[in-house]
């Protein structure tokens, strides 16, 4: 089996049982904020269009590139669909003209007509991608791989049962507006960025260790940020406080942890995998590798000159006039709030949207009030979260009745955020749920999470087996130290004695002291933290 990197999370996989293109991305995304890095414009689209199968893991625009797919990919290709709770991905691809779909089932192996065995693992917590993310395992009869991209599967058993893996492709770098978009003090930002960088790489290592593949190929980020206002987000100096480490930094981290089976996997790298567990890596020319590694500023500056016209075209096409934002939000968002019992209870306050003028006129402040369940002009009410966004971006989202502001606006980092108190998941879930279908799923998810209780033992306490945050299996991702349970999926901490969440105030761990009956019930055990 041959795996070729076509940039970011994009793969072209050729095997004895057919070929597949995964997550091809070439167009600047998120209002022109993200650009694939290294430059992948030299990839031949005709070669990709000749593949047997197309797999799009989820609808994030660094994985789903509608402009490129519409222009280059043949529409009679067989598309492999993950099983998601909302049909947005299917509808989006069908809207581009694709018509041959294979609907897979979560963690259920399927043999395709070419003989290729596939298994797609879906995750569907409200904060997983745009209400859904996925990874795909492939077996051509000789070699098995798992393309995890940036999904965070909570059930690893089915992936392990798929068969011993020859290669594991995994994301290790952040794709987040935190802490960069926040108005935190500089010292606090550095502390949070350092933690984010380290935790992201440690989480990837946790997956690597649990899946135990012969070879690891790090990929799926980071993108680069070429617009002037976002240039500072690029990690050009290996800054330990930058949450976007590159492959070189991650490979150094793995070596520090004693892991030496990972390979540099830049755009254009080809990896041949063999049944005996060996791999042949054909790297891009060493001078290109050296320039990407050692002259990041120069490399990005040259790339910026090439791509800036496309970015300017994207931002220049945004609306410059004014419309009745409050009236439109009342029409399409306020009705959703009326029935969103779990979301409104979770936010339990107000969100202020500061719409920043660019035409010399006044700013406009809009309040989302979850106590009275209304959208209105701000009249001085106290708000827990404040989002400041330039008006053309808000006009674009509102006029288009965008159902998911997080995966359009927030990922762009073209906003400024301040908050009082700790992080609140429900705030961001709300901004992903601006459609009846999305809000219905989110509310049902929270209702099911409240009702579903399976237990585990943690240092003398009985706790739910699933993390209250995003339902990760704590027997796999949890550890205990000094009376604190940590979920390594997102590094959330819970105090066992009280159940109090030390990371956010919108979650509680239902912990209680274990009884002799609990010990006899053979609950699985959450391990102690490993010494650092």
Predicted local distance difference test score (pLDDT) of residue 490:
79
Asked whether residue 438 is assigned to any structural domain, the reply reads yes
- Could you tell me if 345 and 224 lie in one domain? no
Residue 366 maps to which CATH number?
3.30.1050.10
Residue 227 maps to which CATH number?
3.60.15.10
Is the pLDDT score of 433 beyond 60? yes
CA 11 to centroid of chain Cα atoms: 17
Q: What is the pTM of this model?
A: 0.86
Predicted local distance difference test score (pLDDT) of residue 134:
97
Asked whether residue 528 is assigned to any structural domain, the reply reads no
Distance (Å, whole) CA 143 – CA 272:
10
Q: b/e map of 210-222 (b: 16 or more CB within 10 Å)?
A: ebebbbbbbbbbb
The pLDDT-based confidence of 96 (bands split at 50, 70, 90) is very high
Full residue range of the structural domain in which residue 457 is found: 452-520
Asked whether residue 119 is assigned to any structural domain, the reply reads yes
Q: For 67-88, what is the mean pLDDT?
A: 96
Identify the domain boundary among 311, 339, 357.
Answer: 311
Among the listed ranges 20-34, 175-189, 385-399, 492-506, which one has the minimum average pLDDT value? 492-506
- Could you tell me if 83 and 174 lie in one domain? yes
Give whole-number Cα distances, 399 to 28, 124, 211, 386, in Å. Answer: 22, 28, 45, 21
Domain total of the chain: 3
Q: Do the strands 461-464 and 455-458 form a parallel or antiparallel pair, or are they unpaired?
A: antiparallel
Distance (Å, whole) CA 431 – CA 414:
15
- Could you tell me if 340 and 237 lie in one domain? no
Asked if residue 173 lies in contact with residue 250, where contact means CB atoms within 8 angstroms, the answer is yes
Residue 471 maps to which CATH number?
2.102.10.10
What six digits make up the tokens of 32? 């022109």
Predicted local distance difference test score (pLDDT) of residue 519:
67
Cα end-to-end distance, the chain, whole Å: 37
Summarised one tens digit per residue, pLDDT across range 136-185 is 999 999 999 999 999 988 789 999 999 999 999 999 997 789 999 999 99
Asked whether residue 525 is assigned to any structural domain, the reply reads no
- Could you tell me if 205 and 237 lie in one domain? yes
Predicted local distance difference test score (pLDDT) of residue 513:
86
Is the pLDDT score of 351 beyond 80? yes
Among the listed ranges 7-16, 321-330, 487-496, which one has the minimum average pLDDT value? 487-496
Summarised one tens digit per residue, pLDDT across range 112-122 is 999 999 999 99
- Could you tell me if 143 and 279 lie in one domain? yes
Q: Which residue in 44, 63, 27, 95 sits closest to 313, CA to CA?
A: 27
Predicted local distance difference test score (pLDDT) of residue 496:
92
Summarised one tens digit per residue, pLDDT across range 244-277 is 999 999 999 999 999 999 999 999 999 999 999 9
Asked whether residue 319 is assigned to any structural domain, the reply reads no
- Could you tell me if 175 and 299 lie in one domain? yes
- Could you tell me if 178 and 95 lie in one domain? yes
Beta bridge partners of 231: none
Asked whether residue 495 is assigned to any structural domain, the reply reads yes
Predicted local distance difference test score (pLDDT) of residue 120:
98
- By the 10 Å C-beta count (0-12 exposed, 13-18 middle, 19+ buried), 470 is classed as buried
Is the pLDDT score of 206 beyond 60? yes
Asked if residue 413 lies in contact with residue 181, where contact means CB atoms within 8 angstroms, the answer is yes
Asked if residue 92 lies in contact with residue 66, where contact means CB atoms within 8 angstroms, the answer is yes
Is the pLDDT score of 31 beyond 70? yes
Asked whether residue 501 is assigned to any structural domain, the reply reads yes
């Amino acid at each position: 089996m041959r795996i070729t990197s076509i940039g970011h999370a994009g793969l072209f996989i050729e095997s004895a049982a057919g070929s597949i293109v995964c997550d091809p991305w070439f167009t600047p995304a998120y209002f022109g904020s993200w650009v694939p890095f290294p430059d992948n414009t030299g990839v031949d689209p005709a070669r990709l269009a000749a593949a047997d199968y197309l797999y799009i893991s989820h609808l994030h625009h660094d994985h789903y590139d509608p402009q490129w797919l519409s222009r280059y990919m043949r529409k009679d290709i067989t598309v492999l669909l993950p099983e998601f709770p909302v049909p947005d991905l299917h509808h989006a691809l069908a809207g581009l003209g694709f018509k041959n779909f294979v609907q897979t089932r979560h963690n259920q192996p399927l043999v395709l007509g070419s003989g290729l065995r596939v298994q797609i693992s879906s995750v569907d917590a409200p904060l997983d991608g745009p209400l859904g993310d996925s990874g795909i395992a492939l077996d051509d009869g000789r070699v098995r791989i798992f393309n995890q991209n940036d999904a965070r599967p909570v059930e690893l058993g089915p992936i392990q049962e798929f068969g011993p893996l020859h290669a594991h492709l995994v994301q290790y770098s952040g794709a987040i507006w935190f802490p960069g978009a926040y108005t935190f003090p500089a010292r606090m930002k550095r502390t949070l960025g350092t933690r984010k960088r380290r935790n992201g790489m440690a989480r990837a290592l946790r997956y690597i260790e649990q899946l135990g593949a012969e070879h690891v190929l790090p990929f799926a980020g980071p993108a680069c940020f070429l617009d002037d206002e976002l240039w500072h987000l690029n990690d050009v100096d290996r800054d330990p406080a930058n949450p976007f480490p590159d492959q070189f930094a991650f490979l150094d981290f793995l070596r520090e942890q004693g892991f030496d089976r990972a390979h540099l996997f830049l755009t254009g790298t080809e990896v041949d995998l063999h049944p005996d567990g060996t791999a042949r890596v054909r790297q891009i020319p060493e001078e290109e590798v050296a320039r990407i590694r050692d002259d990041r500023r120069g490399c990005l500056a040259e790339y910026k000159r090439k791509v800036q016209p496309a970015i300017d075209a994207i931002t220049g096409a945004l609306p410059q006039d004014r419309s009745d934002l409050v009236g439109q939000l009342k029409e399409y968002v306020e009705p959703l709030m009326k029935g969103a019992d779990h979301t409104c209870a979770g936010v339990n306050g107000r969100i202020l949207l500061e719409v920043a003028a660019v035409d010399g006129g006044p700013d406009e402040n809009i309040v989302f009030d979850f106590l009275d369940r209304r959208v209105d002009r701000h009249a001085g009410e106290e708000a827990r979260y404040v989002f400041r966004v330039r008006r053309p971006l808000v006009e674009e989202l509102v006029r288009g009745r965008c159902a998911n502001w997080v995966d359009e606006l927030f990922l762009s980092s073209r906003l400024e955020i301040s908050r009082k108190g700790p992080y609140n998941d429900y705030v961001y879930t709300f901004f992903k749920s601006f459609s009846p279908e999305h809000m219905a799923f989110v509310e049902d998810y929270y209702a099911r999470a409240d009702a579903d209780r399976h237990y585990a033992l943690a240092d003398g306490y009985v706790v739910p087996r699933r993390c209250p945050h995003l339902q990760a299996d704590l027997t796999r991702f949890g550890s205990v130290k000094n009376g604190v349970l940590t979920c390594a999926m997102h590094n959330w901490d819970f105090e066992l004695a009280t159940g109090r969440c030390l990371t956010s105030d919108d979650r509680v761990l239902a912990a209680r002291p274990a009884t002799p009956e609990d010990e006899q019930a053979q609950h699985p055990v959450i391990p102690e933290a490993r010494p650092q």
